[in-house]
Amino acid sequence: MTITENVPGPSTGPERPLATPASATSAAGTVPAQRRERRTAAGGRERLVVVGNGMAGMRAVEEILERGGADQFEVTVFGDEPYGNYNRILLSNLLAGAETEDEIFLNTPEWYADNDIRLRAGVRITGLDRYARVVTADDGTVTPYDKLIIATGSRSFIPPINGLIGADGELPGGVFAFRTIDDCRSMIGFAAERRTAAVIGGGLLGLEAARGLQTYGLAVHVIDAAPTLMNQQLCAEAGGILRRGVEALGITVHPGARTARILLADGAQAEAEAGGGGEVGPGRGDRGAGPTHGGGRAVGLEFADGTRLDVDMIVVAAGIRPNVDLGLRAGLTIERGIVTDDQLRSVDDSDIYVVGECAQHRGQVYGLVAPLWEQATVLAEHITGTNPDAAYHGSKIATKLKVAGMAVAAMGLKDAEHPDDEVVRFVEPRRGVYKSVIIRDGKLVGATLLGDTARSASHIEAFDRGLPLPEERLQLLFDIGLPAADVGAAEMADDAQVCNCNGVSKGKIVACVQGGVKSVPGVMNATRAGKGCGSCKALVKEIVEWAAGGEAEEDPSVSWYVPGVPLDKPALLAAVRERNLRSVSAVFAALAPGGREDAASKMALTSLLRIVWGGEFVDERDGRFINDRVHANIQKDGTFSVVPMIAGGVTSPDELRRIAEVAEKYDVPMVKITGGQRIDLLGIRKEDLPKVWADLAMPSGHAYGKSFRTVKTCVGKDFCRFGVGDSTALGVAIEQRYHGLESPGKLKLAVNGCPRNCAEGLIKDVGVVAIEGGRWEIYIGGAGGAHVRKGDLLATVDSPDEVMTLTGRFLQYYRENARWLERTYTFVPRVGIEKVRAVVVDDADGIASDLDARVQESIDAYVDPWLEREAPATPGQFRTALPLIPLPQVPVR
Amino acid sequence: MTGPTAVTATATATASEPGSTAGHPGAPHRLGRLDDIPVGEARTFAVGDQQIAVFRLRGDVVRAIDAVCPHAGGPIADGQADADVVICPLHLHVFDLATGESTSGAPPIGCHPVRLAPDGTIELTR
């Protein structure tokens, strides 16, 4: 035997050493001592040999190169297919004519050359000698390695059906596996002049093959030994709905049909039946390429019940089996795949890594692409030493795809397994919709969605990360209030309007992504999508991710509290407290990159510092939004709206008289009753604000800030014949205690005197409902605006005092923990009502008294801002910003 | 929309030293005093039929741009600013204070060269 280094491909230089003479004369398996020593190739680099040029192997190589691996390793890649590297997932698109061969190739031969990788395409590794540290190829060459990566993937499983494998070990003519680009080419070439085809296998691959063959005008039968299509992912009921969808496309499904034998022409039957089932190995060339094949030519198949199906061609898509022969012969531990540790190394040999479909990690063999990516990353981090602690802990498998034109998402369990498993299921067969989730111990452990996968993103997230689930399980299946996409991004028309505030279409977002902006905040800034009321943000995110095709960039700034300071809220709060930062400019100087101030961050920082420091906050007026500088809400013409405080919506003739007089005196263009049970004077000139406030002689209603605004009430038990509690008095008391408190988002409250919800307490940030027996229910996280959501029940208490305490404690918890502009209807589901209840009601964290004390400090520091009418806080505080424009421009009603 | 003279008079009267040098061709127009503007904020000054928002940035750098947002007429002087940009309060369009270019897709806004005289007066130099 001769030992050669790899010949083709770029050489790394003439000094590259050949194998030692000693090894050249040794037989495989006998190990000269010097062979075990670590030797390195040119430039002090180790020799890394990769067996397998598929998606897993090459992803691992790419990840290694990304971590500077080119300086550490001299890389050689063996692939038994004579090509560069292609995307195997897209073979079904190739078959269906949706993509060309060029489009599915990932790395060209030039790429290998450019990256100094020796590619030996079309060369199959047949032997591995772990002691000699060499691999031998079918062309007789022997290649030494220091580190080896086995990424041999899988091959088609050929079920034991008579006639499926001829005496020569090949598939008969007209029979095809569906695994490689050559398989695909052969099928396409053969299908052209045929009329009927059978696909053996009703899994994902089989259905894709069936759909692909239809494009050539063939009548296609799917022969499924299992009773249910996509048996691996779908329960019987979902499989039935999928079957109806598949049949509607003109594909004939034979469920539970066992194929007894393949019918062959040319009298080859007897000879062929000598062969049983088995596995077709890769690289055997032209199997099934034509009718003159040695194994005969298939003309149909016969089922176990004796019935026959005559077809012109047969595709076998009955599953895959890991290619483990190389490891087996080298004595590595094999179960279903080559068994690896958490670093993806063979448990028997720490110089041999195994990645992809041939690897078995913690009992799992993965056949989907996402886990391969995770494995490749861990492998690369470990082999390059960039993260010696890198460890793979297994992947949770979730699939979202289109099968024969139907959207399918599946993850985890397909059926309940334990008696205590909760199953929530919705089935609408007529529309082909099936949704089912399986919950165990409050965690999502399985979900199947068919026909309508709009909520699959949140399922995958909950499944992957074990997130808390909504108490009302229905929300898992339907969008009943939480922001979410109604239609999948892929299905939307290009001109469909996504952002209804700023008029941004899907097409505009996609164009932005294609223009190179691949992060969600980047696209939002560039297109203004999602920058209005924010209710479309989830859809914008989905479209960006879809348009970026898995290359969406995680923008680290999404976790920052403000865009100009790279810290999330807990870190920002800690820094502000530790470093005693009491003004917005001090925060920028200490914490912003380069000490740079950022206009878009100022309002949020002002709010946060007020929450932290209360009366000790150093107030820089430029840190405030205009509304908070002049304590009124700016209107479209630059005038302002004035809303005096009317606590609980209870006013008096005297107040109404003053309001009426002000409206006349200042020619107020519109007087409007608000939704918050107050009176709004709209179209007031900025310079008139101090005088208006003085004439009203009422405190500010804070209808302009991110702060506690109102408490709506009903008339309660003193007047209403249905009332069971004094909602009016309690609502007035809550508003008087907490009004004006600044918070990450605005706060709108209500108190109902009975469960009829006249004050709308069920859709408020905090809603209180009197119930019979002198008790009160407290709901939090409700919304009745751009999003509609019923609040979650926080607690049922016995007295108004307890309502007051829990309300304040929750408000403080929200103030300290919510993201900027995150309303309670997002905050509460994000944190989870159970967690909020544990902290606020049960004091599980032992912070209840601290929260109570801090909210009391804020209350004590409160000053009515309208008192600035006496002494303006800054020069020209109330000077017009548009001196040459006669205001108001808004219409006078 | 130029306002009636009554409004112009009221507005300019609130600016200090209104139009005091307006009659001298070639002389810089004195807009007002630095002390008229709180740090980090802006105030609008009327010059003839123009409305100019003057920003007093931190470090007492002054910048002047048109007072009316080209997007929907928003009062720019009521916006929030930093060393580089101002954000219109109505729809949050962002404008570069030095060039007038918008980074949020609005049409550009007009810029005016200004300087701070040694006596604390803000002068329009053209």
Distance from CA of B96 to the nearest CA of A (A): 11
pLDDT category at A283 given cuts 50, 70, 90 is very low
Q: How far is A874 from chain B (nearest CA, A)?
A: 6
Please give the C-alpha separations between residue A49 and each of A72, A133, A657, A684, in angstroms, as whole numbers: 13, 10, 89, 77
List the A708-713 sheet strands across, edge first: A708-713, A747-752, A766-771, A775-780, A792-797
Q: Which residues pair with B32 in a beta bridge?
A: B122
Element (H, E) at A155: strand A154-158
Cα separation of A755 and A171, whole Å? 72
At residue A170, the pLDDT reads: 86
Q: How far is A655 from chain B (nearest CA, A)?
A: 31
Q: Does A760 touch chain B (CB under 8 A)?
A: no
Mapped onto helix, strand or coil, the DSSP state of residue A365 is: coil
Region A366-377: mean pLDDT is 86
Q: Is A24 on the interface with B (CB under 8 A)?
A: no
- Give the Cα separation of A643 and A735 in Å (integer): 14
Instruction: Report the gap between the CA of A598 and the closest CA in chain B (Å).
Output: 6
Number of A:B CB contacts under 8 A? 122
Annotation: CATH topology of A708-860: Sulfite Reductase Hemoprotein; domain 1 (3.30.413)
Distance CA A627, CA A703 (A): 9
What single-letter DSSP state applies at residue A281?
P
Whole-angstrom distance, CA of residue A646 vs CA of residue A710: 8
The angle, 0 to 180 degrees and rounded to 10, between the axes of the packed helices A599-613 and A584-591 is 110
Query: Which ipTM did the prediction report?
Result: 0.85
Least confident of A516-530, A751-765, A777-791, A847-861: A516-530
Please judge whether B38 and A874 are an interchain contact, meaning their C-beta atoms are less than 8 angstroms apart.
yes
Antiparallel, parallel or unpaired: β A747-752 and A433-440? unpaired
Torsion of CA A770, A771, A775, A777, to 10 degrees: -60
Show Cβ contacts of residue A873 under 8 Å, excluding neighbours closer than 6 positions: A619, A621, A629
Q: What is the pLDDT of residue A471?
A: 80
Task: Of A392, A567, A537, give the one whose Cα is nearest residue A457.
Answer: A537
Q: Residues of A numbered 862-891 whose beta carbons fall under 8 angstroms of chain B's beta carbons: which are they? A: 874-877, 879-886
**B44 contacts on A by Cβ (under 8 Å):** 879-883
Bridge partner list, A515: none
Residue with tokens 């009515």: A864
pLDDT at A63 over 80: yes
CA distances from A509 to A489, A502, A515 (A): 11, 12, 10
- What is chain A's Cα-based Rg? 35
Residue ranges of E strands in A36-95:
46-51, 73-79, 85-86
Q: How far apart are CA A603 and CA A858, in angstroms?
A: 18
Q: Does B89 touch chain A (CB under 8 A)?
A: yes
CB contact under 8 A, A636 and B72: yes
Please name the amino acid found at residue A275: G
Query: pLDDT at position A480, please?
Result: 56
Q: What is the dihedral of CA A514, A518, A519, A520, to 10 degrees?
A: 30
Any B CB within 8 A of A690 CB:
no
pLDDT at A22: 36
**Cα first-last separation, chain B:** 23
Interface membership of B97 toward A (CB under 8 Å): no
- Gap between the Cα atoms of A729 and A723, Å rounded: 13
Q: Which residues of chain B have pLDDT under 50?
A: 1-23
Residue A48 · residue A75 · CB < 8 Å: yes
Chain A residues with CB under 8 Å of B40 CB are 620-623
C-alpha to C-alpha distance for A769 and A766, rounded to whole angstroms: 10
**CATH architecture classification, A1-153+323-395:** 3-Layer(bba) Sandwich (3.50)
| Site from A588, A629, A882, A889 to mutate, B interface, most B CB atoms within 10 angstroms | A882
Q: Rounded mean pLDDT of A456-478?
A: 80
Contact: B36, A876; criterion CB under 8 Å: yes
Fold agreement (A1-153+323-395, A156-318) = yes
Q: In this structure, are residues A645 and A737 in contact, taking their beta carbons and an 8 Å threshold?
A: no
- A139 vs A859: CA distance, rounded Å: 83
A295 and A177 Cβ atoms separated by less than 8 Å: no
Residue indicated by tokens 């004595």: A331
User: d(Cα A416, Cα A440) in Å, to the nearest integer?
Assistant: 9
- As a whole number of angstroms, the distance between CA A283 and CA A490 comes to 37
- Residue range A130-134: average pLDDT? 94
CATH number for the domain spanning B119: value is 2.102.10.10
Least Cα separation, residue B83 to chain A (angstroms): 7
Q: Are A318 and A215 within 8 A, CB to CB?
A: no
pLDDT in tens, A485-499: 445 677 777 888 888
For chain A, give every domain's residue range: 1-153+323-395, 156-318, 398-477, 497-559, 569-624, 708-860
Cβ–Cβ gap A622/B81 under 8 Å = yes
Please judge whether A885 and B78 are an interchain contact, meaning their C-beta atoms are less than 8 angstroms apart.
no
Q: What is the mean pLDDT of residues A28-57?
A: 67
SS3 A764: coil
Q: Which two tokens stand for residue A424?
A: 């929530």
Angle between helices A204-214 and A181-191 in degrees, nearest 10: 40
Percent of chain A with pLDDT over 90: 66
Please tell me which of the candidates A597, A623, A637 has its beta carbon nearest to residue B83. Answer: A597
Q: Which CATH architecture has domain A497-559?
A: Orthogonal Bundle (1.10)
How distant is the Cα of A510 from the closest Cα of chain B, in angstroms? 17
Q: Which of B114, B40, B113, B102 is nearest to B74 (CA)?
A: B102
Contact A662, A692 (CB under 8 A): yes
Q: Radius of gyration over alpha carbons of chain B, in Å? A: 14
Residues 13-52 of B with CB under 8 A from A: 14-15, 35-46, 49-51
Q: Chain A contact for B59, CB < 8 A?
A: no
Encode burial over A318-353: b for 16+ CB neighbours within 10 A, e otherwise.
Answer: bbbbbbbbbbeebebebeebbbbbebbbbebbeebb
The per-residue pLDDT for A192 is 85
Mean pLDDT confidence for A423-435: 90
3-state helix, strand, coil in chain B (%, to 5): 15, 35, 55
Please report residues of B whose CB lies closer than 8 A to that of A626. Answer: 78-80, 89
User: A398-477 belongs to which homologous superfamily?
Assistant: FAD/NAD-linked reductase, C-terminal dimerisation domain (3.30.390.30)
A240 residue type, one letter: G
Q: Which residues of chain B have a CB within 8 Å of the CB of A884?
A: 2-3, 7-8, 11, 46, 49-51
Which single residue is written with the structure tokens 């034509």?
A290
- Contact in structure between A575 and A590 (CB atoms under 8 Å): yes
According to DSSP, residue B3 is labeled P
pLDDT digit string, tens, across residues A513-546:
998 888 888 898 888 888 877 778 888 888 898 8
**Residue A888 preceded by cis peptide, ω within 30:** yes
In the DSSP assignment, the letter for residue A173 is B
Tell me the C-alpha distance between A384 and A208, whole Å: 38
Residue A729 dihedral angles phi and psi, to the nearest 5°: -65, -40
> In chain B, whose CA is at the least distance from the CA of A629?
B78
Tell me which chain B residues have a C-beta less than 8 angstroms from the C-beta of A503.
none
Q: Is A619 on the interface with B (CB under 8 A)?
A: no
Residue A14's CB is within 10 A of a number of other CB atoms, namely 6
| Count of domains forming chain B | 1
Max alpha carbon distance in chain B (Å)? 39
Average pLDDT rounded to a whole number, residues A283-308:
66
Whether chain A has a CB inside 8 Å of the CB on B61: the answer is no
Range with the largest mean pLDDT of A281-290, A467-476, A717-726: A717-726
Domain residue limits at B100: 5-124
Cα separations in angstroms, A714 against A509, A655, A732: 45, 20, 11
Average pLDDT (A667-696) is 96
How many CB atoms sit inside 10 A of residue B78's CB? 28
**How near does any CA of chain B get to the CA of A525, in Å?**
7
Extract the tokens encoding A338.
């080559």
Name the residue of chain A whose CA is nearest to B42's CA: A881
How distant is the Cα of B73 from the closest Cα of chain A, in angstroms?
7
Question: B80, B84, B88, B92: which to substitute to probe chain A, counting the most A Cβ within 10 Å?
Answer: B80
CA distances from A369 to A54, A366, A380, A755 (A): 11, 8, 17, 52
Looking only at the bridges linking them, the beta strands covering A219-224 and A196-200 are: parallel
Query: Greater confidence, A29 or A241?
Result: A241
H/E stretch holding A270: helix A269-273
Residue A849, judged by CB atoms within 10 A of its CB (0-12, 13-18, 19+), counts as exposed
The class (CATH top level) of A156-318 is alpha beta
Q: Are A755 and A769 in contact (CB under 8 A)?
A: yes
Q: Mind listing the pLDDT tens digit for each residue in A174-217?
A: 999 999 999 999 999 999 889 999 999 999 889 989 999 999 99
Chain B residues in contact with A585 by the CB 8 A cut-off are: 58
| Alpha helices per DSSP H over A644-780 | 653-665, 689-696, 727-738
Residue B93, CA atoms < 13 Å, CB-side half-sphere: 21
Query: Are A451 and A458 in contact, with CB atoms under 8 Å apart?
Result: no
Contact status, residue A172 vs residue A293, Cβ threshold 8 Å: yes
Please give the Cα distance from A280 to A621 (Å, whole number).
76
C-alpha A407/C-alpha A491 separation (Å) is: 10
pLDDT at A493: 77
Determine whether B59 is exposed, middle or buried from the number of CB atoms within 10 Å of its CB (0-12, 13-18, 19+). Answer: exposed
Token digits for A712? 């709506």
Distance CA A58, CA A873 (A): 65
Paired with A711 in beta bridges are A749
- Across the interface, whether the CB atoms of A884 and B53 are under 8 A apart is answered no
E strand map for A187-258: 196-200, 219-224, 252-255
Average pLDDT taken over every residue of chain A: 87
pLDDT tens for A234-280 read 889 999 999 998 999 999 999 999 999 999 986 555 444 444 444 44
Nearest to A641 by CA among A701, A591, A718: A701
Cβ <8 Å between A881 and B35: no
CA distance A576 to chain B (A): 20
Percent of chain A with pLDDT over 70: 90
